[in-house]
Amino acid sequence: MPCSRIRWSILLTALVVTVGCKAPAPQDLVNGDAAKAVYVAPGQYDEFYAFLSGGFSGQVTVYALPSGRQLKTIPVFSQFPENGYGYNEETKPMLETTFGTVPWDDTHHTELSQTDGVPDGRWLFINGNNTPRVARIDLTRFETDEILQIPNAAGGHASPFTTGNSEYIVSATRFSVPIPNADVPIESFKTNFKGTLSFIKADVPGKMDIAFQLLMPGYNYDLGHAGKGPSEGWFFFTTYNTEQAYTKLELNASKNDKDYIAAVNWKLAEQCVKEGKAKAFPSRYAHNYMDPDTRQAKVEFRTSVQMLDPAACPGVVYLLPTPKSPHGVDIDPTGEYIVGGGKLATVIPVHSATKIKAAIAAKAFDGDIGGIPVLKYEATIAGEVQKPGLGPLHTEFDGKGNAYTTMFISSEVVKWKLGTWEVLDRAPTYYSPGHLMIPGGDSKKPWGKYLLALNKITKDRYLPTGGELAQSAQLYDISGDKMKLLLDFPTQGEPHYAQALPASVLKDKQVKFFSLAKNSSPWVTRAESEGNITRAGKAVHIKMIAIRSHFAPDNLEGVEVGDSVYFHVTNIEQDWDILHGFAVLGMNTAELILQPGETRSMLWIPRSPGVYPFYCTDFCSALHQEMQGYIRVSAAGANVPLKANTSAKAATQISRLKAVPQVAEHQHGAAGGR
């Protein structure tokens, strides 16, 4: 292929690649049946749910494949004014940390929970990179239920990869930092800076906790994956900056010919912790959890972790030399091959689980680092993919013996064969892919029909929108020998990574509304007649219902400037997709969006006297524009009596919906006095 030879000649420059390599015209990129392959007719469903990390949006976006239609944004680490997440009283605690409220983060890796090494659709995990956190999203509601802060860490990048039964998810530090963090000179990096690998117990909702942390050399830890089959019981993490540079890393951290993949025997670590070989390490961190009954989040601060020094547990970690600043570490479906994505490497190195175990048994060591044995490269390597392209980053698998690796610099996906290491096919991407995703492609059983390339650069792919563009994804059909480009669609934030699973796994277990009878929020209002206004010092609590097409009460008086006014609104509808919203003139927060049967609370501190309207913000019915009310605000000390009335119109509607015996009375009258 002359084109790729030219690319080789400009290794690492990543500049003009067009010399003698004319880009094909857009109409030549796809073959004729591509439209049919991705067309999902109105009213029909897609085959897959795809969960894309929102990157610097701090959220998760859900797309349908193969159509590429966006279904939802799930708020996780960032406030989300669209539905009030992180603004309303119920969800504000989700964003608490030991640094205070952190209303934004950078999400990188979505990870579906697994059973026997296969995605099972129970939960989706996602990491917050900037302020290290991991979150659990429930997939019957598409809502974030739990967030755990990771102490003794900075940059939670190698996260939240799961073990085969989601016993643990992991989080490794991107940045090494002083542990515990302390005021030290940055030049003391080599003495004072360390990394940690956290193993987080994740198999019980609401009970996420750090099982233990491994104290590691002061490198950058990049990505991880759990072993399976012959590598079962092991976890692999890539490292870079083994040079331990702390300035101008782009140069100083790229000097070593090889960095390491750290192989962690987590079963042994578990045992060492059980035997008391880890030390209780004072560490403050937040655990935030959404109570399923009250639907109110709670914060609890924890104070200690079990810190395991590898020296105290010999055999718990080995280092596998791997060229060069490896990024991804991906395990094939059989668990035998451990693929390193050396972003500056000229080959794709593949380690063998069997050879690693043999090398450990034979002590084929090349010295040690702080007591952690370094295995000989030749002793663990199964093969190298030669001339794969430039800038290999991530690899996924189709379950048919093939691997697919993204090439960031040469902007392509390369298909190669496990075992023979020969390159079978290459397909350009637009442009510079980071991760790629095959549904189940990191698991024991990939659904190897589609491949999604997640690109970092968009440029001219869509109608231009100024200087800041959406990011871009490309969908390929990989069912045949050759990869076929099917679809190109824009994505939100930066979709670092994605996971997907067949729609059938999730489609039929969606919660359609919350049972009002089971709503145990302390602020629930179950019937129109139960709404009220009460005062406790400067706090005024208003309990209110929303139903098509009114609030009750909807005329409120007795509030004074400077009061903390809490609107507790309950949507008493019990029907799917009948949502209501709530907003007050001049409020300093976001609206409430109320799912059927749900109670949400808004805090409002009025600053000046007057009458303030409120209204329903989610178009609910033909009389949506009538769904409104007023709250009167008086001067401080005005002592206007508290009043919660309903307007005449709402009152007549309410009278109809009173308790059953009264209705029966009414009924008889209307039906002819029987």
Which is closer to another protein, CB of 192 or CB of 645? 645
Q: Which has the closest alpha carbon to 221: 151, 174, 171, 159?
A: 174
Which is closer to another protein, CB of 529 or CB of 634? 529
Q: Which has the closest alpha carbon to 487: 472, 471, 503, 500?
A: 472
Cβ–Cβ < 8 Å for 146, 135: yes
Which is closer to another protein, CB of 564 or CB of 574? 574
Nearest distance from C-beta of residue 506 to another protein, angstroms: 18
Q: Which has the closest alpha carbon to 240: 155, 297, 163, 308?
A: 155
Which is closer to another protein, CB of 248 or CB of 674? 674
Nearest distance from C-beta of residue 40 to another protein, angstroms: 17
Q: Are strands 423-428 and 412-417 parallel, antiparallel or unpaired?
A: antiparallel
DSSP state letters, 582-631: EEETT-SSPPEEE-TT-EEEEEE---S-EEEEEE--S--STTGGG-EEEE
Element (H, E) at 264: strand 259-265
d(CA 341, CA 498): 17
673 binds another protein (CB under 8 A): no
Nearest distance from C-beta of residue 630 to another protein, angstroms: 20
d(CA 452, CA 413): 10
Q: Which has the closest alpha carbon to 197: 182, 167, 218, 166?
A: 218
Q: How many other CB atoms are found less than 10 A from the CB of residue 634?
A: 17
By CB under 8 A, name the one of 90, 563, 573, 591 that touches another protein.
573
- Stretch near another protein under the rule CB under 8 A, chosen from 46-54, 161-169, 234-242, 571-579: 571-579
Which is closer to another protein, CB of 15 or CB of 670? 670
By CB under 8 A, name the one of 539, 605, 636, 663 that touches another protein.
663
518 binds another protein (CB under 8 A): no
The DSSP bridge partners found for residue 613 are 630
Nearest distance from C-beta of residue 503 to another protein, angstroms: 18
Q: Which has the closest alpha carbon to 7: 407, 377, 528, 576?
A: 407
- Stretch near another protein under the rule CB under 8 A, chosen from 162-170, 236-244, 288-296, 650-658: 650-658
- Stretch near another protein under the rule CB under 8 A, chosen from 117-125, 261-269, 324-332, 652-660: 652-660
575 binds another protein (CB under 8 A): yes
Name the DSSP class of 309: -
Q: How many other CB atoms are found less than 10 A from the CB of residue 67?
A: 20
- Stretch near another protein under the rule CB under 8 A, chosen from 264-272, 395-403, 584-592, 648-656: 648-656
* Residue tagged 């593949």 (tokens): 350
574 binds another protein (CB under 8 A): yes
Nearest distance from C-beta of residue 665 to another protein, angstroms: 9
Q: What is the dihedral of CA 97, 102, 105, 110, to 10 degrees?
A: 40
- Stretch near another protein under the rule CB under 8 A, chosen from 88-96, 130-138, 542-550, 561-569: 542-550
- Stretch near another protein under the rule CB under 8 A, chosen from 71-79, 316-324, 413-421, 653-661: 653-661
Which is closer to another protein, CB of 96 or CB of 528? 528
670 binds another protein (CB under 8 A): yes
181 binds another protein (CB under 8 A): no
- Stretch near another protein under the rule CB under 8 A, chosen from 379-387, 568-576, 580-588, 635-643: 568-576
Amino acid identity of residue 362, one-letter, is A
d(CA 549, CA 48): 36
By CB under 8 A, name the one of 28, 248, 622, 637 that touches another protein.
622
- Using CB atoms within 10 Å of the CB of residue 591, give its burial: 0 to 12 exposed, 13 to 18 middle, 19+ buried: buried
- Stretch near another protein under the rule CB under 8 A, chosen from 73-81, 257-265, 399-407, 570-578: 570-578
Nearest distance from C-beta of residue 674 to another protein, angstroms: 8
Residues in Cβ contact with 607 at an 8 Å cutoff, skipping those fewer than 6 apart: 561, 562, 586
Name the DSSP class of 520: -
Size of the site for another protein (CB under 8 A): 25
1 binds another protein (CB under 8 A): no
Q: How many other CB atoms are found less than 10 A from the CB of residue 467?
A: 5
623 binds another protein (CB under 8 A): yes
547 binds another protein (CB under 8 A): yes
What is the separation, in whole angstroms, between the first and last Cα of the chain? 91
By CB under 8 A, name the one of 284, 541, 548, 632 that touches another protein.
548
Nearest distance from C-beta of residue 647 to another protein, angstroms: 13
Give the footprint of another protein on this chain (CB under 8 A): 547-549, 573-576, 622-623, 652-653, 655-657, 660-661, 663-664, 666-668, 670-672, 674
